[in-house]
Structure 1
Amino acid sequence: MSPRPDPDALGFVLIDVARMLRSAFERRIATAGLGLTPGEARTLVRIATLEGSRQLDIAQRMGIEPMTLSTYLDRLQSLGFIERRPDPVDRRAKLIFTTPAANELIASIRDEQIDLMQHVTSGIGTADIEVMRGQLKQLRANLVALEEDSSALALVKEAIR
């Protein structure tokens, strides 16, 4: 067995595909004439899927810094596509919602995503795509559990100190 890592190992392939898919999406959005940057488009789509979530939760789900998200939110709000509402549970936090003005833009972004994914998945059958989706969702769930376990372990270690 070679001591060198296998570039086709599942982890490497997943990372490569995710990076390449994100780049392809960003190129499409940049050239689609939507009037948004790719980061703003990703943010708007994420808000639409996490309607009413806190800013911090959205940033974590996107894997970006809260300040980066705040910049995207400021722009999307100035364009009338999102609104920030106070969190009734935590006065310091804001809940983020899309506005009706964003619906057409979200649909256009979604059209770009669908078209891109049709190209990316060409040659793969519908049933295989569904199996892959299920398996990737399981990987995601496993990683969430691992993150939660790591967070719990860190809290225990901190409490012991």
Structure 2
Amino acid sequence: MPFKLESETIGMLLTDVSRLLRGAFDRKVNAMDLGITPGEARTLIQVALTEGIKQAEIATRMGIEPMTLSAYLDRLEAMGLVARVPDPADRRAKNVVMTDKAEPLLTELMAGLREMMNAYTAGLDEATREVLCGNLRVLRHNLRELDPCLAGKDAGKLADDKSGDGR
């Protein structure tokens, strides 16, 4: 008899939802025709959430290679949407900040993503959404605290504090 895995575990469901949501995000950003790619949109969102942190930290938060992030930042900088500024604590490092020019684009992007998430969370009332977000925060916290690879790192701390409505 073949070995059968349980497909409705928390891990399997989160993995599946994450994959589906990432694809939906990419399609939404492409459909909005904002002049940026989905990767650049994710980068711009991270820069807005983590204003003024090092490029390497942004890459870690996004789970991408520093060279991939650098390419996204090069394009966003060429469009005048972000700027690299010297890190006052480390003159070799650059921190990334959003420019005023990025605000209208980011506002439009976030409105489109909120609309998308409202459609995908239809059927969940406000209280259920809050419970889901709260439970996901606990899971994220536990992963950071209990995983030896993440222990002591505060990756995502600013995003935890600022990302609020991910609905």
**After the TM superposition, which residues 110-121 of structure 1 pair with which residues of structure 2 at under 5 Å, given as runs?**
110-121=110-121
* Rounded Cα–Cα distance in structure 1 between residues aligned with 2:92 and 2:20: 37
Greater length-normalized contact order (CA 8 Å, ≥ 6 residues apart): 2
Corresponding letter in the other structure for 2:95: L
Alpha-carbon distance, 1:3 to partner: 4.8
* Rounded Cα–Cα distance in structure 2 between residues aligned with 1:35 and 1:150: 37
* Rounded Cα–Cα distance in structure 2 between residues aligned with 1:94 and 1:138: 32
Q: Which has the higher helix share?
A: 1
Answer yes or no: is the 8 Å Cα contact 2:143–2:150 preserved in 1: no
Q: How big is the alpha-carbon RMSD for the aligned residues of Structure 1 and Structure 2?
A: 1.6
* Rounded Cα–Cα distance in structure 2 between residues aligned with 1:121 and 1:107: 21
Which entry has the higher C-alpha Rg, 1 or 2?
A: 1
Alpha-carbon distance, 1:146 to partner: 2.6
Alpha-carbon distance, 1:126 to partner: 0.5
- 5+ unaligned residues in a row in structure 1: which ranges? 153-161
Answer yes or no: is the 8 Å Cα contact 2:55–2:66 preserved in 1: yes
Q: Give the aligned partner of residue 19 of structure 1.
A: 19
* Rounded Cα–Cα distance in structure 2 between residues aligned with 1:93 and 1:143: 29
**Identity over aligned pairs, percent:** 45
3-state DSSP of counterpart to 1:5: coil
Alpha-carbon distance, 1:93 to partner: 1.2
Corresponding letter in the other structure for 1:105: L
Deviations 1:24-49 (A, max 9, x none): 01001011110000000110011000
* Rounded Cα–Cα distance in structure 2 between residues aligned with 1:58 and 1:48: 11
3-state DSSP of counterpart to 1:96: strand
* Rounded Cα–Cα distance in structure 2 between residues aligned with 1:107 and 1:63: 24
**After the TM superposition, which residues 8-157 of structure 1 pair with which residues of structure 2 at under 5 Å, given as runs?**
8-147=8-147, 149-150=148-149
Alpha-carbon distance, 1:151 to partner: 5.8
Give the TM-score of the pair, scaled to structure 2: 0.86
Q: Give the aligned partner of residue 154 of structure 2.
A: none
Give the TM-score of the pair, scaled to structure 1: 0.89
Answer yes or no: is the 8 Å Cα contact 2:59–2:66 preserved in 1: yes
- 5+ unaligned residues in a row in structure 2: which ranges? 152-167
3-state DSSP of counterpart to 1:97: strand
Alpha-carbon distance, 1:150 to partner: 3.4
3-state DSSP of counterpart to 2:59: helix
Corresponding letter in the other structure for 2:18: A
Any runs of at least 4 consecutive aligned residues in structure 1 with deviations exceeding 4 A, and if so which? none
Alpha-carbon distance, 1:91 to partner: 1.7
Deviations 1:78-105 (A, max 9, x none): 0000000111111221100000000000
* Rounded Cα–Cα distance in structure 1 between residues aligned with 2:91 and 2:12: 42
